[in-house]
Amino acid sequence: MASPPERLERVELAGLSHDQSLEELELCGDALPGQRARGVSIKASKLSGVALEGSRLEHLRIAASSLVECNLANLSARAARLSGVSLRGCRLTGVTLPEALISDVTFAACRIDLASFATARLERVAFEECILAQSDFLEARLASVTFDGCELTGADLRGARLVRCEFRRCTLGELQGAESLRGAAFEWPAIVEHAALWARTLGIEVLEDG
């Protein structure tokens, strides 16, 4: 995965504008809530503690960049493109990324609850120690996606298609659309732990002893 250059120009932004391009820059602590801009492009840059909560950024492009402890809660970014991006300790509660293409991206220790990846494509994406409770992947396409140590309680996978996906040490209570997990890989203890979920999905009835 590509990463930003070691030496970056540090700037402060007052706001974002349509088709704005930010390249090889360092943004630190900028408060930019409620932005409205289309076609913003961020490349080979580092964002630390940047707040974009409640922004609407259609066709957002982020490539070869890192985001650390940024606040992206309730960000709406239809048709976004994220490639070669690392997000660590970020807040993405309520983020909506419909029709997005997310490839070669790592989410580490991020809060992504109540988020929507509906109709998005995720390729070679890693979710590590993330909270994804009540997030939805409706009609999404996931290829080579890993969930490691994630909270997925109440997540919705209805209509999703998973290829070469792995789940390790994840919580899956009240999961919707479990039938979409066909072909995914789980550790054996997790398969046993969630036997009731698999039974409900397959319509298997449990016989009482005796």
What are the boundaries of each domain within the chain?
A: 19-199
CA 5 to CA 74: how far, in whole Å? 29
Q: How many CB atoms lie under 10 A from the CB of residue 117?
A: 27
pLDDT digits (tens, 9 = 90+) for 182-196: 879 998 888 888 888
CA 66 to CA 80: how far, in whole Å? 16
> What H or E segment, with its residue span, contains residue 166?
strand 166-168
pLDDT digits (tens, 9 = 90+) for 33-81: 999 999 999 999 999 999 999 999 999 999 999 999 999 999 999 999 9
CATH 2.160.20.80 describes domain 19-199: yes
How much of the chain is helix, strand and coil, in % rounded to 5? 10, 35, 55
Q: Report the pLDDT value the prediction gives residue 203, as an integer from 0 to 100.
A: 80
CA 159 to CA 177: how far, in whole Å? 7
Which region among 114-118, 185-189, 197-201 has the lowest average model confidence (pLDDT)? 197-201
Compare 139 and 188 and report the one with higher pLDDT. 139
Predicted structure pTM score: 0.91
Compare 197 and 82 and report the one with higher pLDDT. 82
